[in-house]
Structure 1
Amino acid sequence: MSLRRTLATTGRVLTQIRHDPRTIGLLLIVPSLLIGLMAWLFSDTPVFDLVGPAMLALFPFIIMFLITSISTLRERRGGTLERLLTLPISKLDFILGYTLAFGLLAIVQSAIAVGFAVWVCGLEIEGSVWLLLAVAFADAVLGTTLGLLASAFAQTEFQVVQFMPAIVFPQILLGGIFLPRENMPDVLHAISDWLPLSHAIDALNAVARDSEDAGYVGMKLLIIAAFAVGAIVLGSITLRRRTP
């Protein structure tokens, strides 16, 4: 692993994205638009204050997963990765470079989404907005790393979408959005403990309602970080030079 090569990969990815306004719009604007739609839909009810924190986890997570996995897959299918790996750059440098590039975008995305939800849509936050932003950022990075992992196994963009029912949908169903996790059957509650999005939603709800102390939220952040690191390691091990 080389910091210089990792940063070079990061710069290359950011340069590519800078010239793609559609991707920038999808990354930075669409999550806020979806949150705004939810707020408008439930404007005359208390529902948005109940599910709003979970939406801050859900929409950025899904979008970062899709964008990262498809972008990485195109690098491999186009032969870019194969050409890069003929140079003194490792798969880990490549994965970390992508993670850092999209992580920087996740900071901007999280700031826009949290600010829009709180100050435009009126989402009530009883805890620290900065802590809410930190959890939202960690969740977006988690989507990035899982997208990188999924891209290592996919051969086409369609297969990336096929991974969503296996990787994303169970986390949505068991994350506590539709039913509090403590009210789930014991088996499903145990399964949800092993799904990283569940911990992101728990942390966002805890901050929004100020129902837990900072130590609880910090523990959830560590769990999210552990899943993200695990995805980076597995992604670097399983990443292929080129898709047949």
Structure 2
Amino acid sequence: MTLTRTFATAGRVLTQIRHDPRTIGLLVVVPSLLIGLVAWIFTDTNMFQTIGPAMLALFPFIVMFLVTSITTLRERRTGTLERLLSMPLGRADFILGYTLAFGLLAIVQSVVAVGYATWVCGLTIKGSVWLLLAVALADAILGTTLGLFASAFARTEFQVVQFMPLLVFPQVLLGGIFIPRDQLPEGLEIISDWLPLSHAIDALNAVATDSHDAAYIGGQLLIIGAFAVAAIIVGSLTLQRRTA
């Protein structure tokens, strides 16, 4: 693995996305529109103040997961990855390059989503907005790395979608969006502790309500980062050159 090859891969991915306005719109605009829709649904209630932070975790996470996994899979299906790996480009260079590229896009996505939720939709943040942005960014990068992980095992775009019930839906159901995690049945609460999205939602709620100190938020960020690193490592080890 070399930084030069990693940066070259990231640059190539960003160049491709720059010429695809639909992908840019999906990454940057759609999460904010969905957050706005939720705020509109609960416009006459105080519910958005309760679930708004969780929406900042949910929609960017899902969008980054889908776009990253399908884009990476397309590289294999078209033979691009096989040609790249025939050169002095390792699997780790490829995975890290994609992570870097989509991580940069995640920064833009997080800034737009947090700004839209707070300034347009009226989400009240009692803690630091910068800390909220940091957690939202970590959450989006988590979606990116899990998308890379899923793409290493999928053979078609449909199989990528099939990973949603396995990797995404349980995290949505047990992440504390519908019911606080400490009110879940004991077995489900234990499972939710091992799901990274749960920690992202907990951290965003903690910042929004200013109910925990920075040390707690930092601990949640470390957990999210550990899951992201694990997904990168497993994805790089299992990545296939080409989809048969």
Same structural fold, with TM-score higher than 0.5 when normalized by the shorter chain? yes
**Which residues of 2 match residues 1-244 of structure 1 at below 5 A?**
1-244=1-244
Deviation at 1:6, TM superposition (A): 0.1
3-state SS, counterpart of residue 240 of structure 2: coil
- Partner AA of 1:207 in structure 2: V
Q: Tell me the SS of whatever aligns to 1:125.
A: coil
The amino acid of 1:87's aligned partner reads M
- CA–CA distance in structure 2, aligned partners of residues 210 and 216 of structure 1: 11
Tell me how far 1:239 sits from its aligned partner: 0.3
CA distance in structure 2 between the partners assigned to 1:171 and 1:184 by the alignment: 13
Deviations 1:171-229 (A, max 9, x none): 00000000000001110000000000000000000000000000000000000000000
What whole-Å deviation, never above 9, does each CA across 1:97-135 have from its counterpart, x for those lacking one? 000000000000000000000000000100000000000
Q: Deviations over 1:17-59 (max 9, x none)?
A: 0000000000000000000000111011010000000000000
Q: Distance in 2 between matches of 1:125 and 1:188?
A: 29
Report deviation, 1:138. Answer: 0.1
Could you report, residue by residue, the CA deviation over 1:1-28 in whole angstroms, capped at 9, with x for unpaired residues?
1000000000000000000000000000
Deviations 1:136-157 (A, max 9, x none): 0000000000000000000000
- In percent, how many aligned pairs have the same letter? 76
- Aligned-residue RMSD, C-alpha: 0.3
Question: What code does the residue aligned with 2:18 have?
Answer: R
1:49-80 deviation line (CA, Å, top 9, x unaligned): 00000000000000000000000000000000
Distance across 2 between alignment mates of 1:121 and 1:167: 29
**C-alpha distance in 2 between matches for 1:153 and 1:46:** 42
Which amino acid is 2:42 matched to? F
In the alignment, the residues of structure 1 paired with residue 12 and residue 138 of structure 2 have an alpha-carbon distance, to the nearest angstrom, of 23
Distance (Å, rounded) in 1 between the aligned partners of 2:38 and 2:124? 14
CA distance in 2, matches of 1:14, 1:110: 17
In the aligned structure 2, how far is the partner of 1:77 from the partner of 1:111?
Answer: 33
Moved over 2 A (4+): none
TM-score normalised by L of structure 1: 1.00
Q: How many residues align?
A: 244
Separation in 2, partners of 1:159, 1:59: 20
Distance 1:89 1:63 in 2: 28
- What CA distance in whole angstroms lies between the structure 2 residues aligned with 1:33 and 1:184? 30
Displacement after TM superposition at 1:236 (Å):
0.2
